Structure 1
Amino acid sequence: MSTQLLPFGKKGWDYGRVPDLAGRHFAITGGNVGIGFETAKMLLQRNARVTIFCRSEERTRKAVDELSDFRSVKARIEYELMDLANMESVRNAAERFVGFHEKLDGLINNTSIVMVPERVETPEGFELQMGANHFGHFLFSALLFDLIKKGNGRIVTVSSVAYRWGAERIDFDNLHFEENYSPLAAFAQSKLANIMFTLELNRRLLAKEMPASGYLCHPGYAGTNAQRTGSGFFTRVGLEVMNVMFAHSPFHGAKSQVLALTDPEAKPGLFYGPTKMKGLSGPVGVTPISHAAGDAEAAARLWDISEKLTGVDWRLPPA
């Protein structure tokens, strides 16, 4: 791994760099808890309009009430119901949103399902983590893409340094883990797919002489509910121990996605996040991307498979 970069100084990026966001509209998947909640809170404090997309109406209404306490007078908070693991739900939510908005300044693909103990299939037959973390976000980004283009906006996809821990490359012959299911490997593959999708998006946009709009980030090791709700008992116990030893707050974990979404100096395709302990903690800067994640041939193959399986056409030919 090459030396990690801190382009924002030794203390790294912080929220003091967030500009006034009045008049700008951002969408966040999973903005009702954890890192997504902290991101929404910061955007609202800087006068933005924010729409969060979540599964549970009860929990989302509660989050909207809490977020309303933090918003500025100019800010606005809204929500839409959407289950990223269900492609019909994604399509319906996107259709509702597109029908009422003319542009979007940024989308944060934030939701993650983490280390499900036993293999679960989505209604489409996808392995759950790959289905929600990659295919759901791939489809949702495509359906909102015209609004994002009109707003000269950014598509920010949240990956994880865990992509290195269980999947060196995408296993196209076992994409949905019908064989040899592993919670960590399945999660890692979905997070690897997040990176490859974003880099391939930028390659295809640049090939059409359009500005790259795909941004990448990771939260490091942040203590969130995602680690507690999806994992098995022994995994949860292990994660709780790691939380005590290593985890930082969701407030710190959200810095990298606010950076990628709002900072004028952020660059498409760089992997923003904590830079110490191999990306688990520390000041926020740039984290290196592995050779496997940067494999353009594999990324183009994944893109084509993703279009076929989700039934969406981005109208972006390969570079």
Structure 2
Amino acid sequence: MRGTGRLGLMLLVLALFAACTASHANSLPPTSPVESATPAPTVDVPAILWAVGDAATCRSQNDDAVAAFLAQQPGTIALLGDVVYERGTAEEFRNCFDPLFGSVKERIHPAIGNHEYGSRDARPYFDYFGASAGLPGQGWYSYDLGAWHVVVLNSNCKPAGGCDETSPQYQWLRADLAAHPTRCTLAYWHHPRWSSGEHGNFESMQPIWELLSRTGVDLVLSGHDHDYERFQPLDANGHPDPEQGIVQFVVGTGGRSLRPIQHRLPTSATATDQAYGVLRLELFSDHYTWQFVTVSGIPFTDSGRAACH
């Protein structure tokens, strides 16, 4: 009788436990089939490139304002040649360039200008920038910036060994572009292929311009003429091509001096010879934006957005 009572008690406890478990289960929200997690959208963060040429000199203070502005801005700096005046000597790099740009030297990717060749073989330029300037005697190189491939060339064709199809620079450029088939590509050098400024069009870079056009390069930046100018998208022969053309900027507004634009080319989209400043580029994975930022002189604005080819 005692065993039967104990057994009955145990069965009662088990029944109560089962009832509680069932009640708890009924209170839970219904289960749903397992769903795969939706990936978060990728944020396209642009790389920032600041571009300007014809900069440091001990004969002006406009370059001080440009350098001081760039020192406060994050991003990579493309100097578009004639980085120091007047003859690119070691003394000028020490006294006129380094006090202004030395603090941002590690962010600079320079192109060589004609004033650097005021010193034999542009040796002080190559000594100052080291590997960042390319090999001495060449001055061309490339680097990646975000999703973009960037090519830096030497438009001083004679000391560079030529700029035509048979030149070492041209052959290097063709191989480099083939090895880096990115959607977005930018190139820069000192002498502009197209310009409404004092020096005008630089014919010697035509073979290289044609190569860049055939390979779908999006942007070309230059200095040399001391003004700011943006061109319409241009094809291999300099004719407007809104869909596949290269957009070229001339940004020779780094502080040495400003020089007048007398006759605007028909393909020129906008220009000013009244303002020192720098070009700000935001390089996204499939497009870019630009803004010319004045540092001194008459206020001037130019900004926009374009897709890569």
TM-score bracket for the superposition, by shorter chain length: 0.3 to 0.5
* Higher strand proportion: 2
How high is the TM-score relative to the length of structure 2? Answer: 0.36
Which structure has the larger Rg over C-alpha atoms? Answer: 2
How high is the TM-score relative to the length of structure 1? Answer: 0.35
